Amino acid sequence: MSQIDIAPSKLELESRLEWLLPRLQQKINDHYTHQRQGSVILGKTFLTDIAPPLLRVETGRKYWKLVKESRSEYGGRSQTVYGFVRISDGAIFRAATWKQPETRTKGAIRGYLLDEYCEDYFTQWGVIYDI
């Protein structure tokens, strides 16, 4: 009896990532508006971002890197790695550094893109720490 290869295609994974990005952006936007409500205390304002951080995807050889980019009202810009997704199978990883995912721990994979509730593997700050 031969085994059937049921690995997801790159097209399926790209489609799922396109479906997921607006949902993750909404999590970030909700957190931003909630946080923004308390930015004025006793007539003082704090240095804040002018808009919610934007989530974008950078494609590498093995991974899609999800990058969260913030812009301040004074023209500053900062970027953080939101997480990594392996292109071959849709595995979701936390970031170890700017360039690579955390793969050296026992439970490095936090989930898969094709899981039914894959958006639950993410918070407004990035990939969940532990399952």
Q: Is residue 65 part of a domain?
A: yes
Q: Is residue 126 part of a domain?
A: yes
Residue 15 CA to residue 106 CA, distance in Å, equals 29
pLDDT in tens, 62-86: 999 999 998 876 777 889 999 999 9
Q: Is residue 35 part of a domain?
A: no
What are 109's two structure tokens?
């994979």
Residue 44 has pLDDT above 80, yes or no: no
Q: Is residue 31 part of a domain?
A: no
pLDDT in tens, 1-37: 555 667 788 899 999 999 999 999 999 999 888 776 6
pLDDT in tens, 85-97: 999 999 999 999 9
Q: Give pLDDT, residue 46.
A: 56
Q: Is residue 67 part of a domain?
A: yes
Q: What is the pTM of this model?
A: 0.82
Q: Is residue 2 part of a domain?
A: no
Residue 49 has pLDDT above 80, yes or no: no
What are 105's two structure tokens?
């721990």
Q: What is the mean pLDDT of residues 42-70?
A: 81
Instruction: With beta carbons less than 8 A apart as the criterion, state whether 127 and 118 touch.
Output: no
Q: Is residue 122 part of a domain?
A: yes
What are 86's two structure tokens?
């392996």
The residue that leads in pLDDT, 59 or 107, is 59
> Any residues with CB less than 8 A from the CB of 21 and at least 6 apart, and which?
55, 57
Q: Is residue 98 part of a domain?
A: yes
At 74, the amino acid letter reads Y
Residue 121 has pLDDT above 70, yes or no: yes
Q: Give pLDDT, residue 70.
A: 87
What are 102's two structure tokens?
């955390």
**Total domain count for the chain?**
1
Q: Give pLDDT, residue 17.
A: 93
Residue 50 CA to residue 53 CA, distance in Å, equals 9
Residue 97 CA to residue 119 CA, distance in Å, equals 22
Domain coverage including residue 73:
48-131
Q: Whose CA is closest to 21, among 71, 67, 61, 62?
A: 67
